[in-house]
Structure 1
Amino acid sequence: MAATTRATATALGVLAVAGASAFAYGTFVERKLYTLRTATIDVLPAGSADIRVLHLSDLHMAPWQKDKQAWVRGLARLDPHLIVDTGDNLGHRDGLDGIKAALDVFNGVPGVYVNGSNDYFGPSFKNPLRYFMGPSKSPGRTERLDTAALEAYFDSLGWKNLNNRAVTTVVNDTIIDFFGVDDPHRHFDRLERIPGALDELREEDERGPRVTIGVAHAPYQYVLNSFVTHGAEVIFAGHTHGGQVCVPGYGAVVTNCDIPRKQVKGLSLWRHGFHSAYLNVSAGLGTSIYAPFRFACRPEATLLTLTAKS
């Protein structure tokens, strides 16, 4: 009996040490192992020049996060032709100061953006176990952030607001129709506006050929399906943090929406009906200040190169 008790105590001690080590690693090491993921897809009209798209998401920026700000600034070396920002930029009431420190260097680079819920509401503590019961719910009382100031800053960079809107722009001599929705996680999306917005764009600009890109913060299936129905050839999203805590060999434990776990991050193909679109879900660069932890899921930005169809 004594030997069994000692063995049990030893096993529990080993588990406790392993758990503490994993927690320390996720909090102090991996959370700051910023990574650039790259991919290439052939989606542009024949004969088009390549377009380098820098996809940023879920910075959850606090003003004191100087290392994250410096790493994002350093991405300017990639000389992107286009920036797609899929929301949750703010992580603190003064997060815009950090966003400016990170993104001022991209002033003049064409870009588009949508908002996530954390661009409207400040972070709050949530029981992490609740994520196992489905997508996170809106907390009862949260601080309202200065969303208008964030949008005004993005506008000053020359980026276009895609919150329930559509715009046409030319990037590296290719015509791109963009459309997007405000945050689906908070039910701010207005998908019913997209068909009319796209029709209006194409009535005013009949040039061609062109490529169509959809942008949303949270990749809920109904949003992705609608985007494919409305002609999106590429879709950008964030929100999931790639699961944030993953199990090696298994992947994400939760997705915080209804997207399949195997598509919680990275480039994949989203099929709906008889059509499909490339889907790039960013694992994001930040975490809530109340859950500063990542495991087997490094923070990331993506450089997605769009090339011409053969």
Structure 2
Amino acid sequence: MSQQTFALVVIGSTLIDFLVITGVCLGARGFGVRSGSAEIGMKQVLNAVLITALVFMIKLTPLTLLGLNLFGVIHLVYVDLMILPPAAAVALLVASSLPLGEGRRVSVSKPARIFAVGTFALIPIGVYASWIEPFRLQVETTRVPLGPARQGKATFRIGVIADLQTSRITDYERSAFDRLMSLRPDLILMPGDLFQGSEKDLEANRADLIELLSRLSAPGGVYFVLGDVDRGHYGLEEILQSAGVGMLVNEVTRIKLGDRQVTIGGVELDTMTGGARETIHQLETAPGDEDIRILVAHRPDVALGLKRRSRIDLTVAGHTHGGQIVVPGFGPPMTLSDVPRQVAAGGLHSLVDNRLYVSRGVGCERGQAPRIRFFCPPEISILQLSSAP
């Protein structure tokens, strides 16, 4: 389904739902008559909500056949939740001020009126979730202690910038890269999901991508692993090379930072392939205790397959975006990952007695997904690796 078609689907679906919910509330069968006045109470409002939900479910079958995916369904639900209640409330309150003829009016019960006015609170919530928080970039600084067997005493800083997931380069992406560079990291890791669009879109943004990526530099280098949306972009490797970014696909590289020896392994998206498993095996079993070993993967699920107390000092991943929506006290309802919810939400965690850092990412899911972040701001990260005191 093209973006143009999807936009029409969103508009059409929302309009249908609006007509249903207001029609049920205001229709002759949606209210009773008391003393010459038609009153709309909470019963009619709840009936309207239930019928609208039923109509929404019925629409999903033909829309799915047209190409609507899971993120598209979430988009339709989000638009309905943010727009329908206040829009229907306006229609309800306006209708209550209009005469029906012969001295009759539509009246709205006090509970229904309070409910209608309360839905206006959804407007600032929707504005914040779609237009403010997705651009409220945070810098997360986390200390990662190293074991005493690791050679060297210097503290070094890893910059992590994940899940840009953009379809075009804007000032937001440029400011994120510039902000990371202002922190002067010693090494930069990019756990995938750079560009979400077609091969034609990638080529159209080629020059801008090279210019953007060229802003990144660090003494230890800049390394990238492929994410979900990077698959099939055959021109991406050349773009990365032109910008001086190394792409690690089931590869291990070794660098020296001050008095520290660092071994970095990057794996492909499917971490169960022979090449990925061999790379992980190499990091886990290569002799020596002196070097710091870091595994970079797009999905945090890779950490579930590591040995308990693995020789790998740190795994760095992205993919989850922190869930994009976080319910206080519960966490993200949806993470598309098998790691525990609190791990997928982002930050440094111990999983199977191994350290895993999950970035909330810079961007949002695109395509048919709504642009939304709520209690889950985007981030760039600085990981400070130093010997444990």
TM-score range, shorter chain: 0.7 to 0.9
User: Equivalents in 1 of 2:115, 2:207: separation in Å?
Assistant: 45
C-alpha change, 1:280 and 1:199, in structure 2 (3 Å) is: closer
Q: Aligned-pair distance for 1:100?
A: 3.0
SS at match of 1:305: strand
| 1:190-245 CA-partner distances (Å, limit 9, x unpaired) | 43322564489x58xx7x6111111110112xx21333455211110000010101
Let me know the Cα RMSD of the aligned residues. Answer: 2.8
Matched, 1:70 2:175: yes
- Percent identity at matched positions? 24
Matched, 1:192 2:277: yes
Letter in 2 for 1:88: D
Match of 1:22 in 2: 125
User: Which runs of 5 or more structure 2 residues have no equivalent in the other structure?
Assistant: 1-33, 43-108
Which residue of 299, 305, 310 corresponds with 2:384? Answer: 305
Which residue of 313, 321, 329 corresponds with 1:233? Answer: 313
Tell which deviates more after alignment, 46-55 or 93-102.
93-102
Matched, 1:213 2:298: no
User: Equivalents in 1 of 2:307, 2:244: separation in Å?
Assistant: 27
C-alpha change, 1:173 and 1:161, in structure 2 (3 Å) is: farther
Q: Aligned-pair distance for 1:8?
A: 4.5
Greater RCO (CA < 8 Å, at least 6 residues apart): 1
| Contact 1:65–1:98 (CA under 8 A) maintained in structure 2 | no
Match of 1:106 in 2: 216
Which residue of 257, 262, 272 corresponds with 1:171? Answer: 257
List structure 1 runs of 4+ shifted beyond 6 angstroms.
none
| Contact 1:58–1:238 (CA under 8 A) maintained in structure 2 | yes
C-alpha change, 1:255 and 1:305, in structure 2 (3 Å) is: same
Letter in 2 for 1:268: L
| Contact 1:191–1:226 (CA under 8 A) maintained in structure 2 | no
User: Equivalents in 2 of 1:179, 1:59: separation in Å?
Assistant: 21
In the TM superposition, 1:145-294 aligns within 5 A as: 146=233, 148-184=234-270, 190-194=275-279, 197-198=282-283, 202=286, 209-220=290-301, 223-228=302-307, 231-272=311-352, 276-289=353-366, 290=368, 291-294=370-373
Which structure: greater strand fraction? 1
Larger radius of gyration: 2
Letter in 2 for 1:266: G
C-alpha change, 1:169 and 1:50, in structure 2 (3 Å) is: same
| Contact 2:140–2:381 (CA under 8 A) maintained in structure 1 | yes
| Contact 1:163–1:182 (CA under 8 A) maintained in structure 2 | yes
Q: Aligned-pair distance for 1:105?
A: 1.7
| Contact 2:177–2:215 (CA under 8 A) maintained in structure 1 | no
Q: Aligned-pair distance for 1:98?
A: 4.3
C-alpha change, 1:227 and 1:199, in structure 2 (3 Å) is: closer
SS at match of 2:382: strand
User: Equivalents in 2 of 1:268, 1:52: separation in Å?
Assistant: 15
User: Equivalents in 2 of 1:53, 1:40: separation in Å?
Assistant: 10
C-alpha change, 1:251 and 1:32, in structure 2 (3 Å) is: same
User: Equivalents in 2 of 1:60, 1:188: separation in Å?
Assistant: 24
In the TM superposition, 1:72-87 aligns within 5 A as: 72-87=177-192
Which structure: greater helix fraction? 2
In the TM superposition, 1:3-22 aligns within 5 A as: 4-5=41-42, 6-14=109-117, 16-22=119-125
Letter in 1 for 2:144: I
User: Equivalents in 1 of 2:339, 2:274: separation in Å?
Assistant: 17
| 1:175-195 CA-partner distances (Å, limit 9, x unpaired) | 11222321139x778433225
User: Equivalents in 1 of 2:115, 2:380: separation in Å?
Assistant: 38
| 1:139-165 CA-partner distances (Å, limit 9, x unpaired) | xxxxx4x3x432233334444332222
